[in-house]
Amino acid sequence: MHIIATGLSHKTAPIEVREKVSFPEDRLPDALECLVGYPSVSESVILSTCNRTEIYSVVAGVEEGKADIIDFLCEYQDLKRNALEKYLYFHEGPSAVHHVFRVASSLDSMVVGEAQILGQVKEAYTSAYEAQATSAVLNKLFRHALQVGKRVRTETEIGESAVSISYAAVELAKRVFESLEGRTVLVVGAGEMSELTVKHLIANGVTKVLVTNRTFKRAKELADGLGGEAIKFDDIIESMARADILISSTASPDFVIDKSEVATVMHRRRNKPIFLIDIALPRDIDPEVGNLYNVFLYDIDDLQSVVQSNLAERARAAHLCEGIVEREVADFISWISTLEVVPTISTLKERAESIRLLELEKALKRFKDLSEDELSVLNALTTGIVNKLLHEPIVRLKECANQKDGYLYIESLRHLFDLESRLLQGGKTSEVPRSVKSLGTVADCPDGERHALDRQAEQRVSGGIEG
């Protein structure tokens, strides 16, 4: 019985390859059924996201297991073996456990600390569970992995702060205003990044969106897209007096908003704080504006540096997470080792021997003055019964252990003779069957966490600007 992980990810394979290998959700049950049909494979979970496709399996032997899984991938996805093989990585035993724990903890993700992966791992496991492709080992492994994924998020700051520019803007706004509920945002000019930011703001409670642009027609289009109200460009000062947050991203080569204008606005606002976000290049808002009383101005570089330092923070947290993962792997390994045949047999023998001695002692209390001979007969009798009784099960167990699903016998034996607590002396009690449903979903995650994808979107955008 061996756990192996086979797969490819953004680290080893380009998108063209990942696309071909990925499994759409509706085909998973079928694929899983096909996979566990291979002779060496007894359990499987397929984790397929846009960044990775990985197959976790319990196999009878490592080499034949690997071969079967590659065969399955090639046949099922209609790929050439030698074209696929160079992108694949393998982990076996403790290393496979380590890998799945790191994946669930988002330590292996493109954006370390992103929250989607935990939900994706959960979905992958649920599909496999429902398709009856998992059994004791992978059930335990994935439930444990999901717990590890949750644990790193609650015990470290790995998922705490914004790592996308648009979300960093929202986080900053929340430090100026207690709540974004019912606030007004004014959008000047168009752009993918400002739309993204507005969407985040709306998700956080902003109710009113004002949109303005040099050409009113364009403003109108943008406003329709964002569900907002179009404003004439000449009315910008008037609108700023009404807004709490301003996002500017025009293509203008000069400053669109200067200091004296904002000073007028602040006077009209009676000095109520305003948060200005300038994500245009070249900048739209005179940086001098930031020195005005109760004006908080962030340009794209400021936001970028916030993101950078948050990323550094995550890197530090990731270091802590690695430690947590190591410890959890050790825990899991100590559980899995109880499934080994040799320790199980010796525990069984110990258990039988201790019962024998206990019963013998009880009997001896009733017979006083037994001779040496009588004593040795009694001893031999009890030993004989115990050994005879255990002989067959032990021989059969040894035979079965090397076959497919052999550990099921071991597990049954442990259960029938109540060996669990004895095998795990000092360790945790073995079975913690938590309902899968009680483990969190993506919806449970703080909303600061939906930005891993934004970041990718932003990279596309900023790539576009640079190009």
Partner 1 sequence: MEKLAIIAFWLAAVASITASLMYIKNFFAKVEKKDHVELATLAAAAAFMLLITSILIRVGTVGFERSASPFMGRAIFAMFITGVYLMIEMVYARRAPRVRVLGAFVMPVVVIFEFLAWHVYRLNLTLTDQLKSAWVGMHVTFAVSAYAAMTVAVGMAVVYLLQERQLKNKKAAASAFLKRFPSLEASDSLCNRSIVLSFSFLTLVIGTGIIRAEMLPEWSQWYQDVKILAAVATWLVFGFYLGVRTLFDWRGRRANVVAIIGFFAGIFTYFANYLLPSIHSYGKGF
| Closest distance of CB 265 from partner 1, Å | 13
Least CB distance to partner 1 at residue 451 (A): 15
Q: Is 61 exposed, middle or buried (0-12, 13-18, 19+ CB in 10 A)?
A: middle
CB-wise, 4 or 307, nearer to partner 1? Answer: 307
Question: Which 168-207 residues touch partner 1, going by CB under 8 A?
Answer: 168, 171-172, 174-179
Sheet holding 245-248, edge to edge: 229-231, 208-212, 184-188, 245-248, 274-278, 295-299
Cα separation, 383 vs 53, in Å, equals: 55
Residue 400 falls in the annotated catalytic set: no
Strand partners, 41: 59
| CB closer to partner 1, 141 vs 152 | 152
Q: Which residue in 6, 40, 120, 161 binds partner 1 (CB under 8 A)?
A: 161
Task: Report the distance separating Cα 126 and Cα 378, nearest Å.
Answer: 56
Report residue 86: phi and psi, to 5°: -70, -15
Q: Tell me, residue by residue from 288 to 327, as one string, x for binding to partner 1 by CB under 8 A and - for no binding.
A: --x--xx-x-x---x--xxxxxx--x--------------
Q: Does 157 bind partner 1 (CB under 8 A)?
A: yes
Q: How far is the CB of 283 from partner 1 (least distance, A)?
A: 14
Rounded to an integer, what distance in angstroms lies between the CA atom of residue 160 and that of residue 113?
Answer: 8
Find the binder of partner 1 among 26, 78, 82, 154 (CB under 8 A).
Answer: 154
**Could you say whether residue 277 binds partner 1 (CB under 8 A)?**
no
443 binds partner 1 (CB under 8 A): no
**Which is catalytic among the residues 34, 50, 74, 400?**
50
Longest CA pairwise span in the chain (Å)? 116
Of the ranges 12-20, 271-279, 414-422, 436-444, which one interacts with partner 1 (CB under 8 A)? 271-279
Instruction: Give the residues across from 8 on adjacent strands.
Output: 53
Beta carbon of residue 327, minimum distance to partner 1 (angstroms, whole number): 18
How many whole angstroms from its chain centre is CA 419?
34
**Residue of 273, 282, 323, 464 that binds partner 1 (CB under 8 A):** 273
Question: 246 pairs with which residues across the strands?
Answer: 186, 276
Displacement of CA 62 from its chain's centroid (Å): 26
What is the secondary structure of 290-307 as a DSSP string? GGSTTEEEEEHHHHHHHH
Options 92-100, 167-175, 245-253, 353-361: segment touching partner 1 (CB under 8 A): 167-175
User: Counting contacts by CB under 8 A, is residue 440 touching partner 1?
Assistant: no
Helices 136-155 and 406-416 meet at what angle, rounded to 10? 80
**Which of residues 374 and 444 has its CB atom nearest to partner 1 in the complex?**
444
Distance in angstroms (rounded) separating the CA atoms of residues 20 and 35: 17
Residues in the interface with partner 1 (CB under 8 A) total 32
Q: Which residues bind partner 1 (CB under 8 A)?
A: 154-157, 160-161, 168, 171-172, 174-179, 270-273, 290, 293-294, 296, 298, 302, 305-310, 313
Q: Which positions are annotated as active-site residues?
A: 50
